[in-house]
Amino acid sequence: MQHKLTSLSSAAQSFIVVAACVAAPSVALADVGGVLAWGANWYGQCTIPVAAQSRVTKIVGGDAFTMALKDGAVLAWGQNTGQCNVPTEALSGVSAIGCGFSHALAVKNGAVLAWGLNNLGQCNIPVNAQSGVTAIAGGDHHTVALKNTGAVLAWGSNGNGQCNIPVDAQSGVAAIACGHFHSMALKNGAVLAWGMNYDGQCTIPAAATSDVTAIAGGEKHSIALMNGAVLAWGDNQRGQCTIPDAAKSGVTAIACGGTHTLALKGGVVLAWGDNYSGQCNITAAVNFNMTAIAGGGYHTIALKLPDCDSDGVSNVAEIAAGAADVDQDEIPDSCQFDCNNNNLPDSYEISQGTDHDYNNNNLLDACDIAADPTLDRNLNGILDSYEIAQSPGRDSNLNGILDLVELAAANALLATANGQVATLTSQNAALTAQLNCGDLDGNGEVNGADVGLQLMNYGPCPQ
């Protein structure tokens, strides 16, 4: 099987490797307000877990798996030969992530963490990578790290010299990236590259020797960002190095897949090159408010700012423009539940103690009661179920109804019954009096017909 590589990141700090496999059909792209992914999904690499649908700050893509960083914790999904088994150490305090073909990388408190495939030592962390590391990247079966001194470190597969750090990359480096079997660094605005160069991926063009701000590596091609324009060199069999006009200005971030290239411009993802699994397809309906991009083997990953009302303006932008956010959760109040229509999110009122949610359904109890008055039979504004839970003795027959409510109902029923008895007694006396008027129709019986004749012709029978 031919191995392919992909890389990622708006800061060009994590890049990846990919493998050419039988491609699965492209999956539908969904706007989840966090991580988006599209393209090949044969291992679930584009099936976004719930945890990755908000607050994600970094993304990277491996061969057929995806990683994200959320609240300092690493998330991983897709193909798993160990790379998606996130170790306990990587569940907090992580500052950077990266991945290779089938190995995962993280930086925590300056130390490199690595897990997954380790057949060529790509996960064997050298002593000098156990402190002072600021960035991490993965190649096919090798790993590259950047120290806070500006020195590049590398370990793992070195069959093409991708771990032989040139003198120029031993100080002053600002960013790193990896290709399939080549490594890259950015120093003083110039691109450095070493390792496999069969397709010219390490032959730096003159334009990439100054003013470069970001770098990324694909399977056998390299890209750079200079003054908002994308530069590319190396293998171009799939058009991955043929820069579209839209990517020649205004670009803010770049990334590579195996044989496709990505750019971010004005919150919109641009993609070109190999599109065998739909990794370059993204619909205009969701292609806005994007903030970061990454490439996997045959899939593309992006981060998108939440837009709760789907008006094309992100939540953050709406709040900055004056939209109310009383609870400061970066979600406009207008997008949150306000069942009592007082312009305050229910969640905020609950947190402030101005109203209650005793049944924990994220709605004010007052709104629950308004929708179903039987929830508060004693009319005190508190759910009966909560009152019983707090004092079980108030429901002695365990039928879910407060004893005092049942007692009141019983008393009311008794009063009604007593009233009905009194009414019937009065009506019976009146009827008896009417019957005392005799057999008016002469049929030998005194009955209702006689009463009717009396009332119709003579009025009530004299007492």
Q: What is the pLDDT of residues 170-204, one digit of tens each?
A: 999 999 999 999 999 999 999 999 999 999 999 99
pLDDT tier at 401, thresholds 50, 70, 90? confident
- Global pTM reads 0.70
Q: SS3 for 97?
A: strand
Q: Find the mean pLDDT for residues 57-71.
A: 96
Q: Residue 51 has which token pair?
A: 């945890």
The number of beta carbons lying within 10 Å of the beta carbon of residue 401 is 17
Locate 43 and state its tokens: 């291992």
Per-residue pLDDT at 51 exceeds 60: yes
**Which of these ranges, 25-34, 59-68, 203-212, has the smallest mean pLDDT?**
25-34
Buried b (16+ CB within 10 A) or exposed e, 265-289: beeebbbbbbbbbbbbebeeebbbb
Q: Are 40 and 298 in contact (CB under 8 A)?
A: yes
195 closest CA partner among 227, 158, 168, 148: 158
Counted residue by residue, the chain has a size of 463
**Backbone dihedral region for residue 384 (phi beyond 0: left; psi -120 to 50: alpha; all else: beta):** alpha
Q: Of 163-177, 244-258, 368-382, which range is least confident? A: 368-382
Cα distance between residue 192 and residue 171, in whole Å: 12
Quick one: pLDDT at residue 285? 79
Domain map (residue ranges) of the chain: 3-304, 310-335, 337-400, 404-457
Q: Name residue, tokens 């660094």.
A: 185
Instruction: Give phi and psi for 411, each to the nearest 5.
Output: -65, -40
User: Average pLDDT of 39-57?
Assistant: 94
Instruction: Grade residue 344 by pLDDT with cuts at 50, 70 and 90.
Output: confident
323 or 242: which carries more pLDDT confidence?
A: 242
CA-CA distances (angstroms) from residue 446 to 365, 426, 438, 441? 63, 20, 6, 9
φ/ψ of 310, rounded to 5, equals 50, 40
Top CATH class, 3-304 = mainly beta
Torsion sign, CA atoms 450, 455, 459, 463: positive
Orientation of helix 403-435 relative to helix 448-457, angle to 10°: 70
CA dist 432 → 371, 421, 445, 446 (Å): 50, 16, 14, 11
* Alpha carbons 71 and 205: distance in angstroms, whole number: 39
